[in-house]
Amino acid sequence: MRPTLRKVVLIALLGWDQPRGKCRSVCVQRWLKSRKQAGEFHCFIQELRLFGEEFRSCFRLDRSQVDHLLQMVGARIARMDTNYRESISPILGDGTPTGPLDSASRVGRSTVAGIVPSVTQAIWDCLVGEYMPVPKEEDWRAIACEFLERWNFPNCLGSIDGKHVAIQAPPCSGSQFYNYKGTYSVVLLAVVDAIYCFRVVDVGAYGKGSDGGTLRVSAFGQALQDGTLEIPPPASLPGAEDLGPVPHVFVGDEAFPLRPNLMRPYAGRQLPLPKPVRIFNKRLSRARLVVECAFGILAARWRMYRRVLGLSPSNVDACVKATCVLHNYIYIYILVI
């Protein structure tokens, strides 16, 4: 036997002895083929559209918002039909009610695992340019006017804080995601304007870090440090022009460092503070609570923030960013309509 032929035979025999993966007996499981006849979307959701309050409770959006959202992201998430299987319609991937998505919607588990990250990423990519654009100098000025009018805090560009999003510990991650609460999490760092809209979000920092450390390593923190945020120049305070120009600032709690464009309250809760200092802390706290309220609205609307997410950190980041931009979308959509 020639050497070349002998090698071919030996390789074939070696491959024959290796354990092989189980072959699929069918391309699509039989119970999945009845999606249009017995799936939750075709049987339940279509009927639910007739009842406005129930539909909104289920989807966190009303019918017109869902239809408008589908127009914006539908082309991005639609798939083609083939001779072997029929594609899943975009509305099914847009937001199925809580519960076992695969069995209720009659969609395979691996398919659902691919739907969630792809749809959340599509929502972010399609909406962020319109509903969470990078603020320019004129945008910062408008935010400062809103803070002065609503919260009586001048030259304020936004309220900043971090929120821990609970996750299951990723494999081989050690203590990177372990936070001071005794759970595992990623951090959502957000800047919120005077009307509870997210202006800047940074997602994905390890839960073990502090708010100040998260700000330092974030893209927003780097831009703030480098002076590339297009922050308006210092301006005089209303009624105190004699003090001269005062910088525009973001407001945060004691966890953040004091910087020329980042204001935090005076320390010393256990000590008697002078009256002007107490008044300043009260005003700053009132302005800072805007971001806490925004986080509360976010968690009340999207219940994923109330449980531990069993997703990879990258998929958690996509879900968090999608809910933040949807938060803005709902608020701005209501104002426009």
Question: How many angstroms separate the CA atoms of 115 and 92, rounded?
Answer: 9
Block residue for tokens 């709902």: 330
- pLDDT per residue as tens digits for the range 210-265: 999 999 999 999 999 999 999 999 999 888 888 889 999 999 999 999 999 999 99
Looking at every residue in the chain, the average pLDDT score rounds to 79
Confirm whether 329 is domain-assigned: yes
Confirm whether 44 is domain-assigned: no
Q: Is the pLDDT of residue 76 over 60?
A: yes
| 224 and 100 share one domain | no
| 94 and 171 share one domain | no
Give me 187's structure tokens. Answer: 């951090």
pLDDT score at 259: 93
Residue 188 three-state SS: strand
Give me 106's structure tokens. Answer: 């009659």
Which value, to the nearest 10 degrees, does the dihedral of the CA atoms of residues 298, 300, 306, 309 take? -50
Confirm whether 185 is domain-assigned: yes
Question: How many angstroms separate the CA atoms of 111 and 291, rounded?
Answer: 36
- pLDDT bucket at 82, cuts 50 / 70 / 90: very low
| 139 and 125 share one domain | no
- pLDDT per residue as tens digits for the range 308-331: 988 889 989 999 999 999 999 988
| H-run or E-run covering 217 | helix 211-217
| 110 and 138 share one domain | no
pLDDT score at 267: 84
Question: Which residues, other chains included, contact 56 with Cβ-Cβ below 8 Å and sequence gap of 6+?
Answer: 62
Give me 179's structure tokens. Answer: 């936070």
- pLDDT per residue as tens digits for the range 124-172: 999 999 999 999 999 999 999 999 999 999 999 999 999 999 999 999 8
Percentage with pLDDT > 70 across the chain: 71
Confirm whether 318 is domain-assigned: yes
Question: How many angstroms separate the CA atoms of 75 and 119, rounded?
Answer: 11
Question: How many angstroms separate the CA atoms of 155 and 239, rounded?
Answer: 13
Question: Contact at 8 Å (CB) between 132 and 223?
Answer: no
| 106 and 253 share one domain | no
* Mean pLDDT of all residues in 291-299: 95
Q: Is the pLDDT of residue 96 over 80?
A: no
Domain C-terminal end among 131, 150, 185: 131
Which tops the pLDDT comparison, 239 or 79?
Answer: 239
| 251 and 237 share one domain | yes
| H-run or E-run covering 263 | strand 262-263
| 269 and 179 share one domain | yes
| 213 and 266 share one domain | yes
Task: Give the C-alpha distances (Å, rounded to integers) separating 107 from 32, 93, 113, 193.
Answer: 6, 10, 10, 40
Distance of CA 17 to the CA centre of its chain: 49
Which tops the pLDDT comparison, 288 or 85?
Answer: 288
Question: Which residues, other chains included, contact 103 with Cβ-Cβ below 8 Å and sequence gap of 6+?
Answer: none
Give me 329's structure tokens. Answer: 């979308």
| H-run or E-run covering 203 | strand 198-206
Total number of domains in the chain: 2
pLDDT score at 86: 43
| 116 and 246 share one domain | no
Question: Contact at 8 Å (CB) between 146 and 292?
Answer: no
pLDDT score at 3: 53
Least confident among 10-19, 95-104, 105-114, 283-292: 95-104
- pLDDT per residue as tens digits for the range 193-208: 999 999 999 999 999 9
pLDDT score at 242: 84
Q: Is the pLDDT of residue 30 over 70?
A: no
Confirm whether 188 is domain-assigned: yes
pLDDT score at 286: 94
Domain C-terminal end among 131, 161, 183: 131
pLDDT score at 107: 54
Question: How many angstroms separate the CA atoms of 214 and 33, rounded?
Answer: 47
| Pairing state between β 198-206 and 249-251 | unpaired
Q: What is the DSSP string of 45-92?
A: IHHHTT-HHHHHHHHSS-HHHHHHHHHHHHHHH-----SS-PPPPHHH
| Pairing state between β 185-192 and 198-206 | antiparallel
Which tops the pLDDT comparison, 299 or 61?
Answer: 299
Confirm whether 24 is domain-assigned: no
pLDDT score at 250: 97
| 249 and 158 share one domain | yes
Which tops the pLDDT comparison, 74 or 12?
Answer: 74
Which tops the pLDDT comparison, 141 or 110?
Answer: 141
Domain C-terminal end among 77, 111, 131: 131
Confirm whether 7 is domain-assigned: no
| 211 and 224 share one domain | yes
Domain that holds residue 87: 32-37+65-131
Confirm whether 301 is domain-assigned: yes
Residue 186: strand pairing partners: 165, 206
* Mean pLDDT of all residues in 287-293: 96
pLDDT score at 103: 45
| 278 and 312 share one domain | yes
pLDDT score at 62: 76
* Mean pLDDT of all residues in 164-182: 91
